[in-house]
Amino acid sequence: AVMVAGAVATISEVFSEIQRASGATERLIELSQVPTDIIELAQPQPLIGNTQGALSLSELVFAYPSEPNTEVINQLNVDIKAGERVALVGPSGAGKSTLFELLLRFYQPKSGTISLDGMDIANLSLSQLRQQYALVPQESVIFAASVFENVRYGRIDATAEEVKQACIAAKADEFIIDFPQGYETYLGERGVRLSGGQKQRIAIARAILANRPVLLLDEATSALDAVSEIKVKQALETLMQGRTTLIIAHRLATVINVDRILVLDKGQLVASGTHNQLMQSSELYREFANLQLLSEQPET
């Protein structure tokens, strides 16, 4: 699974490393500064401002460097329009997280291309490319710092007012102002511990503040209480407004709301469509849907 605020699996290690090394907030790195083995062009194609967030995967093939003969993404062709909401579903190991890693260019495809607004992402600078994305991970990372610092991490030069507005939009302000020190309340092991739903809303506030054209959302699997569930849903709705959104989805309620669902299996696109279409056309999707229905039964 994709793990960290502004970053992915291996990146979680980078984050804990940095936290260990430094202790507080200012040195929180940007996603764009995460080191990788990727080679950048000496003269990358400059991006002027933000992109529209149209994504296109063409004949994409990928194997992890450690297993060069095992293709985990295989001949993938997908076009995602600017502003479209797309859910990725498929069994464990289908390649959903890997796809996020490739979009962020943590790895180089074996063949094929990914383009953003028609530009091959390999021709862009890593920092400009990664500034096009906001990532909301399954497990939101909360740093040992104030609520304010935790949210401002979404855009380090944001003003106090911008942080506050992002928190209001993310339905986080309402619980933050109930804390004894409000936005100055210290979070983390030695401070206030947040509930799962509160952590998610902090992560959403960061992403709202970051204001990127493409949103990569790795939906949490653990169920929230009913109130949190509604608040998180409303917050996500605000966040997704006007952005291209890719969601690694685990819940039926989520997939029912998107424009298009892509069903992946063993690195290949095996079906795509809306929930109703896929219930008719895809055996694998029906399995997913039925499993979700079972796991979403309220506990008695």
User: By the criterion CB under 6 A, which residues form the site for ligand ATP?
Assistant: 1, 64, 66-67, 72, 90, 92-98
CA 22 to chain centre: 25
- Beta carbon nearer to ligand ATP, 2 or 214: 2
Sign of the CA dihedral with 187 first, then 189, 194, and 200 last: positive
CB of 38 to ligand ATP, least distance (A): 14
**Shortest separation between residue 121's beta carbon and ligand ATP, angstroms:** 18
Nearer to ligand ATP, 67 or 157 (CB): 67
Cα separation of 257 and 7, whole Å?
Answer: 25
Pairing of strands 268-273, 133-136: unpaired
In angstroms, what is the minimal distance from the CB of 98 to ligand ATP? 3
> Which one, 98 or 228, has the nearer CB to ligand ATP?
98
User: Which residue do the tokens 């998180």 mark?
Assistant: 232
Question: CA 49 to CA 46: how far, in whole Å?
Answer: 9
Task: Tell me whether residue 92 or residue 276 sits nearer to ligand ATP (CB atom).
Answer: 92
Q: How far is the CB of 94 from ligand ATP (least distance, A)?
A: 4
Which CB, 89 or 129, lies closer to ligand ATP?
Answer: 89
Q: Which is nearer to ligand ATP, 167 or 249 (CB)?
A: 249
3-state DSSP percent of the chain in helix, strand and coil, to 5: 35, 20, 40
Q: What angle do CA 278, 200, 93 make, to 5 degrees?
A: 45
**Which lies closer to ligand ATP via its Cβ, residue 14 or residue 82?**
14
- What spatial distance separates the first Cα and last Cα of the chain, rounded to whole Å? 29
Q: Name the minimum Å distance from CB 64 to ligand ATP.
A: 3
3-state secondary structure 201-217: HHHHHHHHHHCCCEEEE
Question: Shortest approach of ligand ATP to residue 283 CB, angstroms?
Answer: 18
Q: Six-digit token pair at 1?
A: 């699974």
Q: How far is the CB of 144 from ligand ATP (least distance, A)?
A: 28
| E strand spans, the chain | 55-63, 71-80, 85-89, 111-116, 119-120, 133-136, 214-218, 244-248, 260-265, 268-273
